[in-house]
Structure 1
Amino acid sequence: MNFNLLILLSLLGAATAFDKYPKEFVFELPDNEEFCFYEEFAQDAAKEAFNTVFRVIRGGNNDVDFAITAPDNQKVYEKQKQHFDEHEHTFRPGTYSFCFGNKFSTITHKQIYFALNRKRPESLAEEAGATNVPTAMSLLQTKMEAIHEYLVTVETVQSIYKVREAEGREISEDLNERVMVFSAILAMAVVVCGFGQVVVLRTFFSDKKSVSYPRYPTKA
């Protein structure tokens, strides 16, 4: 019974902390610029693992520089010109910076998806802080474990669909812009062709040639 109560308290704690993690952003990174996010980790953060995920949705060659800087201004993780990256980290207490760089690009800006998420324990017992994970569980514990697994799966799928939705929206907007430009060009071509046909037809009916008759000498 105590273990069931511990799991229920863990579910309540997860519900109250749901608005903090995961943190997800989709942002624009201008050319020749650097943009940083800052996150402060508490004392108990060293006991947990975090996942960082980023993907370049559009822009140039779909690559970006990424670096994580510790509170002592030391880079603990760095990637250069990457399209996608996912990595697991353990952070000490303090404020970390997550920086994206586009300084190597002087023309194109980038649209980037970034997520910072706490790594989920394999079971609710571990998430609740239980030292001994039971191997034989009751029906209630089994149902809770199944619900926990389903919720984690739903959260993962939602993150994937969020990235795909951003990519699909960008493709749709780009296609819409191309169709609008092509339609405008076709409309101008139709107007020019129509005006040219009218001018040519008018020349057929307005060209009047004078007919001259020969003059014969009159008899005196």
Structure 2
Amino acid sequence: MTRFLLFATALFVCLQSILAVSIDIGPHKKECFFEDLNVGDKLTVTFQVGEGGNLDIDFSIVDPQGSLIKNERQMAGTHVVQANREGRYVYCFSNEMSSVTAKSLSFNVHDMERLQETAQQHIDPLEREIRELAESIFAIKSEQDFFEQREKQHRNTAESTNSRVKWWSLGQLSLLAAVCMWQIYYLKRFFEVKRVV
């Protein structure tokens, strides 16, 4: 009973500390989110651009003092920030460089380091194993989300290619039919005998 209660508590804590979000960011738009961290906490943000434009987005993290910690343009990434100050850390995804294309983005926010640090304290070996299992579940979930986004991106590319091939083939077929009809008409007129009365 104690093991089950311990496992259920660890699982509940793990599920509470992960957040998976999918958003669409329009052209010239910026979406920001925040996390309140204590000194020493580590925040992990994993993201993947699913569709839109060159599949890149501007990612930035700002600390409570307003200082820029990271600012990069990437297709996908994992960023870990350790809080040096207590307060609100803001992370933003910006599509301001795009003038036409909206971007579809999926990201996870989790804090595995806090679990690791508490697991290193003097605790029961079974509880330590449960926490390590929870960390492994987080890593697998993050990888699964990454592969799901890649599969979605590749499926969209394949469907787009199939659509283009279909329309190109229909265009070629109609052009071929028009050329055949014109040739038949032209040859028919060429071999007609014209009589002057």
How does the TM-score come out when normalised to structure 1?
A: 0.65
Q: Which moved more, 1:182-191 or 1:147-156?
A: 147-156
Contact 1:34–1:100 (CA under 8 A) maintained in structure 2: yes
Q: Secondary structure at the match of 1:16?
A: helix
The number of aligned residues is 195
C-alpha RMSD over aligned residues: 3.7
Q: CA deviation at 1:67?
A: 1.9
Output the amino acid matched with 2:186: V
Larger radius of gyration: 1
Q: Please name the residue that 1:116 is paired with.
A: 109
Output the amino acid matched with 1:208: V
Structure 2 residue 65 is matched with structure 1 residue 80: no
CA distance in 2, matches of 1:142, 1:53: 25
CA distance in 1, matches of 2:102, 2:8: 42
CA distance in 2, matches of 1:83, 1:53: 11
CA distance in 2, matches of 1:193, 1:23: 59
* 1:149-180 CA-partner distances (Å, limit 9, x unpaired): 65345324322322222222332232233223
Q: CA deviation at 1:141?
A: 7.0
CA distance in 1, matches of 2:131, 2:88: 34
Q: Please name the residue that 1:172 is paired with.
A: 158
Structure 2 residue 10 is matched with structure 1 residue 14: yes
Q: Please name the residue that 2:92 is paired with.
A: 99
Q: CA deviation at 1:131?
A: 2.6
Structure 2 residue 163 is matched with structure 1 residue 191: no
Contact 2:36–2:87 (CA under 8 A) maintained in structure 1: yes
User: What percent of counterpart residues are identical?
Assistant: 22
* 1:169-205 CA-partner distances (Å, limit 9, x unpaired): 3322322332233233223223323432442354256
Q: CA deviation at 1:11?
A: 2.5
Q: Secondary structure at the match of 1:13?
A: helix
Equivalent of residue 89 in structure 1, options 76, 81, 94? 81
Q: CA deviation at 1:143?
A: 7.2
Q: Tell me, which stretches of 5 or more residues in structure 1 are unaligned?
A: 213-220
Output the amino acid matched with 1:25: V
- Distance change >3 Å, CA 166–CA 71, structure 1 → 2: farther
Q: Please name the residue that 2:194 is paired with.
A: 209
Contact 2:42–2:111 (CA under 8 A) maintained in structure 1: yes
- Distance change >3 Å, CA 176–CA 54, structure 1 → 2: same
- Distance change >3 Å, CA 150–CA 33, structure 1 → 2: closer
- Distance change >3 Å, CA 142–CA 115, structure 1 → 2: closer
Q: Please name the residue that 1:33 is paired with.
A: 29
CA distance in 2, matches of 1:161, 1:16: 25
CA distance in 1, matches of 2:177, 2:74: 47
* 1:52-106 CA-partner distances (Å, limit 9, x unpaired): 122334444433222234556x144331323333221245666544321222232
How does the TM-score come out when normalised to structure 2?
A: 0.71
Contact 1:67–1:75 (CA under 8 A) maintained in structure 2: no
Contact 1:48–1:119 (CA under 8 A) maintained in structure 2: no
Q: CA deviation at 1:116?
A: 1.0
